Amino acid sequence: NAGVTQTPKFQVLKTGQSMTLQCAQDMNHEYMSWYRQDPGMGLRLIHYSVGAGITDQGEVPNGYNVSRSTTEDFPLRLLSAAPSQTSVYFCASSYLKNTEAFFGQGTRLTVV
Amino acid sequence: TQLLEQSPQFLSIQEGENLTVYCNSSSVFSSLQWYRQEPGEGPVLLVTVVTGGEVKKLKRLTFQFGDARKDSSLHITAAQPGDTGLYLCAVFSGAGSYQLTFGKGTKLSVIP
């Protein structure tokens, strides 16, 4: 089983460029979320979705957009990349709240 | 203010030693999860505790949820190099309790 698939695994962007981090899950999970992980800061929630067409902001949403047009996909868009967005990004999904979250392998993003 | 405080932040021990790491909060939770993250990978769920005072065992790992459901501990007996990783506690919080919030983690190194 594929589980949660993130692409790309590595990306280098120049300041001001835009890009989309892809996340797909094949477990028919309703709940999906995006986190960033920085040294000493732990995992911080960027945006989350409780179902197709429904998204909400997490702890650090500024500079990021999301949409959820299907149950399977939850892309994260950076409209104008900044060096402060250099991080490792994780996508996660779960069947319901209060259940196990399954994570992708992460995308390491560097903004120069 | 961090919702979940984990201690210690770093721990380096010799193979065969015992250790305990902690996850503390001033808030009460209906459940708490422990994840382990290995380098280059996403976190993987180890256990969910839901009842005050609950103790769960997973081979050499023992998890306890505090009686007041505000804190938790993870005890590892006879640590092995394969236990090396980042140990994260997490709770569902926020409006509707849809946001899975993580502590900053304890980075464990077990030296052969």
- Tokens 């692409």 correspond to A7
Rounded to an integer, the average pLDDT of A3-15 is 97
- Please say whether the beta carbons of A89 and A35 come within 8 A: yes
Name the E strands within A14-112: 19-25, 31-38, 42-51, 54-57, 64-66, 76-78, 87-94, 102-103, 107-111
Nearest to A48 among B48, B90, B98 (CB): B98
Residue A4 pLDDT > 90, yes or no?
A: yes
Q: pLDDT by residue (tens digit) across A20-30?
A: 999 999 999 99
Residue A1 confidence (pLDDT): 65
Asked if B42 lies within 8 A of A41 by C-beta distance, the reply is no
Residue A86 pLDDT > 80, yes or no?
A: yes
Bond prior to B8 in cis (omega within 30° of 0): yes
Confirm or reject contact between B64 and chain A (CB < 8 A): no
Q: What whole-number distance in Å separates Cα of residue B60 and Cα of residue B43?
A: 19
Chain B contacts of A59, Cβ < 8 Å? 99, 101
Residues 17-76 of A with CB under 8 A from B: 31, 33, 35, 40-45, 48, 50, 56, 58-59
DSSP state of A104: -
